Chains A and B, each alone.
Chain A
Amino acid sequence: MDNLTAGHLRIAVDIGGTFTDLAAFDEAGRKISFGKALSTHHHLVEGIESTVKGAGVSFKDARLFLHGSTIAINTLLERTGADTALLITQGFRDIYEIGRINRPDAYNLFFKKHDPLVRRSSRYEVKERLRADGNVHRELDESDVEQLADDLLARGIEAVAILLLHSYRNPAHELRVKEIIQKKLPKAFVTASHELTQEYREFERASTVAANAYIGPRVEKYLGEIETYLKKLDFPGTFYAVQSNGGLFPVSDARVECVRILESGPAAGVIGTQAICAELGLSDAIAFDMGGTTAKAGVIYNGKPLTSSSALIGGYDRALPIQVPMMDIFEVGTGGGSIARLVEGNALRVGPQSAGSQPGPACYGQGGQNPTVTDANLLLGRLDPAHFLGGQMKLDVAAAEKVMQEKIAGPLGISVTQAAEGIVRIAATAMSYAVKGVTTERGLDAGAFSMVVYGGAGPLHASAIARELGIRRVLVPSSPGHFSAYGMLFSDLRYDYVRSCFERLATVSFDRIEALYQEMEERGRAAIAKSAIEPDSIVISRAADMRYVGQEHAVTVDLENAIFDRADRAAIKSAFDAVHLQRYGTSAPNEPSDLVSLRITVAGLMSKPPREKLPMSGEKPPDEALLAPRKVCFSAQAGFVDTPIYLRDKLQAGNRIHGPALIEEHASTTTLMPDDLLVVDAFGNLDISVGGGK
């Protein structure tokens, strides 16, 4: 099936909120090229077209097209999805609206709940009922479903989600309902919960399947447009989408399981980090991404990204849960556009309100009246007013200074510099909590990790954030602004499956476990066999969600295949004890344990772009890399110091730079604090020893 003659390019495109990024790997010439263009929200395909042109590559020569996009998440968050109906077991029509009834903002009388994607009059009840063990309590009333389908047809419903209780134990009713609906509404997008997740918790499953239906028609249309576009360009290869778990799947899968691509961009960044770890022989690293409004952190642990079995989309208070495997990414509302303000009692706050791109920070000169993190960086000399975005945008220092004085420094009785430096420090600590969210809260010691930093604003703050966490090594990859697209080039085909399986470990039959794993594995192998590309090899990874008997929350334990060959209960138990100890600081080796769910990942490994080393130059950077020095403030006490400025593009492998210094490139600046030491490594990464220059 593998169409190797078709082309030699692997083209990855990531469409983000502001930019569309491209990274292309030439399998023949063994080189990677990049492209960048503004995203075109009215017609996203245009953005792809301009990046391809900009990078000087052609789809005619491509073997693979790998794609991540904000289309799915934006359709969800901006509420621009389809007219959707939700079919649900009788008696449970309202669970999607009721949700989990919690009120996290507990003292706010004006609190709000989540806002369902399907309104009540579009939620229909199905006459059927299964029991918790999967047995039928009430037979499915098929004629009733037929009538209901007529009503959906008459109403012009575009998408239908199906959630029946306990379908994770027995999907028969969901399958039959889907069949009836599809027959009656052949044009509608129809999706059933068990196809996406086979874990218990009806609200979370309802939310997942409703989201899939809601975004389905739009995502399907979008992917179809791209396919048409690719065909027009005589693209001879295969089109894959990037999932929220960082893996690839064929576009035919993405068109029906749209909810799996919600967080494709951020996930690809973590995959890129994994690639850098492989390059450098690192087993543990934090993937840190900072943009205009948020900062996100993911984790590579023992060489693999940490994933989570579900995520809350849209903030904790009003979240819509999505129960499919995703990269474990923690997000905080701090970015370059975060606004600094004083509240009652002269208390200083930074974010989560953001100036966005309109009006943007005060220094953009577009009427922004609030000082932001970007303004603070400018006032500290860390950003060059003349060369922001490669000089495309001039920054207005006076405007930044005025709002900083009026809004912060004046009322607090401190200097503008003190205020700016303080804001940047507060932002750094706030962002360090994103990192703690995926490390400390998972029982990992952040200080023992290296940090790979990307996104436009990340390298500016990385050294300060690292100090908050005791991190000693920061890596800024080349083209940090294209990092998600770059990461996609390293993705593998990936299928994740899960089956609820409530059993005592001590008594569970290994035959039953093996049957469930085998069934999932066969599905995965079949899915990969269907794909046009034959992977280098297939890797099966098993895991189980486990808990002590009596506990509810389970932790996911990776289990080697050999354990099952030996039917080794004790090994499973001790693996679980170890994970529990690592995560929570306690374990109970003498307490019995439960299996809750069995998980499997079927990965089809793809060949990776090469790790070719650059020739090493001397320690001293070439003269053409050095720009005129600038006065920059690194701490309010020390004030402004003459600081050398380097052009990243001109730096060569082997160059060493002692802090303080700034390294500038298009759309990003790296801050090297006074006691940091930077080495340009053989792969072109800026490898910073935090505090290592003393």
Chain B
Amino acid sequence: MSGNAAKADPITVEIVRNGVLSVTEEMKTNLMRTAYNMIIYEALDFTVGLFTATGETVSIGLGLPMFIRGMSETVKAKLAKIGPENMQPGDILITNDSYTTGSHLNHVTLSLPIFHEGKLIAFTCCMAHWLDIGGSIGQVTTDIYSEGLQIPIMKLQRAGVLNEDLVDLIKMNVRLPDTAWGDLRAQITAVTSGERAFRSIVNRYGCDDVLNSIAAIMDQTEAEARANTRTIPDGVYEAESFMDDDGLDIGTHIPIKVKVTVAGDEMTIDLSEVSHQVRGFYNSGITTGFACAQVAYKCLTTGTTYPVNDGSFRSLNVIMPPGRVISATRPAPMRWWMTFPMTVIDTIFKALAPAIPDRVIAGHHADLVTTTLHGINPLDGRFFIAAVGPLGGGWGAKSTEDGVGVTVCINDGDTHNSPSEQIETKYPILVEKYELRQDSGGAGRHRGGLGAECVVQALAPIAFNSTIERVHCKPWGLDGGLAGDGNLIDVRVNGEWRGKLPNAKMFTERIRPGDAFMVRSGGGGGFGAPVERPADQVVFDVVEGYVSAESAERDYGVILDASGKKLDVGATQARRQTLVKSKAAE
């Protein structure tokens, strides 16, 4: 059953728009507050949504932007496999199939079909990141089978009756069965509370009017996307970048190349020249390939329009052949699916920079900057897996303002870091510092945001894992702005930092009590030539410690007087002239 936008009245449309937003808000609240693992409840690594009877996105709550397609495609796959005629009230469908969700097996995805007078009218859906899904840990996997339990599309609950056999099977295949079971219950709460909330809207305003209004909401969003695409000059825009490596062939960069064509009110994003799928676990499925293009397109055309719905994407064509690193096919390993797509999105912004410099953003740190630890917790003698991070990093500057410092990457939205007081209470570690990285933001007329540095000391033997990317391809500047610093890790043994690591990846590195690991997130790229930055702003940055006096002089041509707090006007003038001349000589 689907709606007819032409029959909707504008008042009810707006009422229903507010209504569907509140449905997904309520789902989010319930999931977050009842989940068992810190990645859900503290980092908010999950996505909830409401979908049409055919699987189109009506509203996605705050969650992972990169999962903007994952749930819709999962609902569609469930419709294709099971068939709407075989669904009934009280059913809940489950899967974590990587090649359907486009992501890793940890993303267990539940969908609940909603019926009205016997007809299927919508789905609520909830993806949440499970802390463990089995498989090997502490190494780079090379196929999906080593990554854990695969749950095909099946019914977790049939007409209100839970499939206990399936729950038993799941529990036996994961390392933290109690946590998994707790999270699964929280997800059931989320989809059922969403159903209840949506049904109350349908009961209040009438099913037809609600479905017609939903169709109209999507049309309105489409109109906005088209209007904002029309203001982009027609043309073909290209850009490239690269990833450090796939974790196995260290030093072999992985090319990212995008081509964007704008014609009238439509945009085509061609991702066929993104690298082929790789041996290590940085692949993602085709759903995520589409999501890369859609996230970039939404940011540029309907960035602050809610609810997030599929009307946004009707004016976007995506060319995404299978077999690329963001459209990988079975049995490609997918565990670290989220990292490469972020750089693809940034590269799309980079391509469009000449066309719409005032609407794009310079490169960002583009990584979750999360590390994981595992070991035996001396507090209770039990096995633990802990995430330290996401740390947040620098975002790129724009033509009108500085980049934002230490904020979560574009893969994530309402994701939080973990309080040090909390992780120290739970795990045998001590956070020595969590602070801003001076000079990590790319210099520019508008400066890139700063990255962060975190040093964590082991209080018991732990195993340390890092899958961090973008050490070598630094977050680029735009329009003459300089690049920010890349991401970085290091390990301290007996008081000595190891240094000179080829990348930021490390697997099952044993760290002893007193030793430590360090993680640094990159800064954002700058925008515009640094010499054009007003000198008083540079002085402010130096006084506050965001920029060193050395960088102020070297990159911005700004020199402070002996007090270290005031501008030396004469010296600055001279230095800036020299910089401008040498730039011209280039």
Contact = CB atoms under 8 A, between A and B. Distances in A.
A441 interface: yes
What class of interface size applies to chain B in its complex with A? 35 or more
A441 B545 contact: no
A93 B452 CA distance: 12
Interface in B20-47: 22, 25-26, 29-30, 32-38, 41-42, 44
A131 B513 CA distance: 14
B400 to A, nearest CB: 8
A231 to B, nearest CB: 44
A530 interface: no
B14 interface: yes
Contacts of A588: 185
A552 B42 contact: yes
Interface stretch (B51-59, B220-228, B502-510): B220-228
Residue among A349, A425, A553 with max Cβ neighbours from chain B (10 Å): A553
A609 B304 CA distance: 50
Interface string B406-441: 111000111111011110110000111111100000
B222 to A, nearest CB: 7
B299 interface: yes
B304 A105 contact: yes
B544 interface: yes
Contacts of A113: 404-405, 407
A104 B220 contact: no
Interface in A188-215: 200-204
Contacts of B299: 107-109
Interface stretch (B89-97, B189-197, B285-293, B473-481): B189-197
Interface in B180-234: 182, 185, 188-189, 192-193, 197, 204, 217, 219-224, 227-228
B221 A551 contact: no
Interface in B356-407: 359-361, 390-392, 398, 401, 404-407
B171 interface: no
B182 A551 contact: yes
Contacts of A344: 220, 223-224, 227-228
Contact of B14 (A111, A426, A440, A586): A426
B37 to A, nearest CB: 8
A91 B433 contact: yes
A584 B15 contact: no
A41 interface: no
B482 interface: no
B10 A422 contact: yes
A107 B545 contact: no
Given A102-B413, A103-B413, A345 B222 contact: yes
A430 interface: yes
Contacts of A585: 30, 189, 192-193
A531 B223 CA distance: 64
Contacts of A433: 18, 22
A375 B17 CA distance: 23
A343 interface: yes
B355 interface: no
Interface string A98-120: 10111111111111110000011
Interface string A582-625: 01111010010000000000000000000000000000000000
Contact of B421 (A120, A166, A580): A166
Nearest to B390: A101
A120 B424 CA distance: 25
Contacts of A350: 14
B360 A109 contact: yes
B152 interface: no
A418 B9 CA distance: 11
Contacts of A502: 425
Contact of A104 (B303, B414, B545): B414
B543 interface: yes
B182 A548 contact: yes
A102 B44 contact: yes
Contact of A343 (B34, B65, B224): B224
B408 A112 contact: no
B303 A107 contact: yes
Nearest to A423: B11
A46 interface: no
Contacts of B44: 102
Contacts of B414: 102-104, 106
Contact of A200 (B38, B62, B422): B422
B185 A101 contact: no
B421 A551 contact: no
A468 interface: yes
Contacts of B182: 548, 550-551, 591
Residue among A90, A109, A129, A203 with max Cβ neighbours from chain B (10 Å): A109
A347 to B, nearest CB: 4
Given A101-B416, A103-B407, A441 B29 contact: yes
A347 B10 CA distance: 7
A343 B18 CA distance: 15
Contact of A201 (B295, B300, B419, B452): B419
A200 B425 contact: yes
A430 B220 CA distance: 19
Contacts of B62: 104, 106
Contacts of A414: 10
Contacts of B421: 132, 165-166, 168, 200-202
Residue among B65, B223, B424 with max Cβ neighbours from chain A (10 Å): B424
The 4 A-B pairs at the shortest CB distance, nearest first, are namely A106-B413, A345-B220, A91-B433, A101-B392
Given A345-B220, A426-B11, A429-B19, 10 more contacts: A101-B406, A101-B415, A103-B414, A107-B302, A108-B304, A121-B543, A346-B10, A436-B22, A551-B182, A584-B34
20 contacts: A90-B433, A92-B435, A93-B435, A97-B436, A98-B434, A101-B391, A102-B416, A106-B412, A109-B303, A109-B359, A109-B398, A110-B398, A168-B421, A201-B421, A344-B223, A425-B15, A502-B425, A551-B36, A553-B33, A584-B189
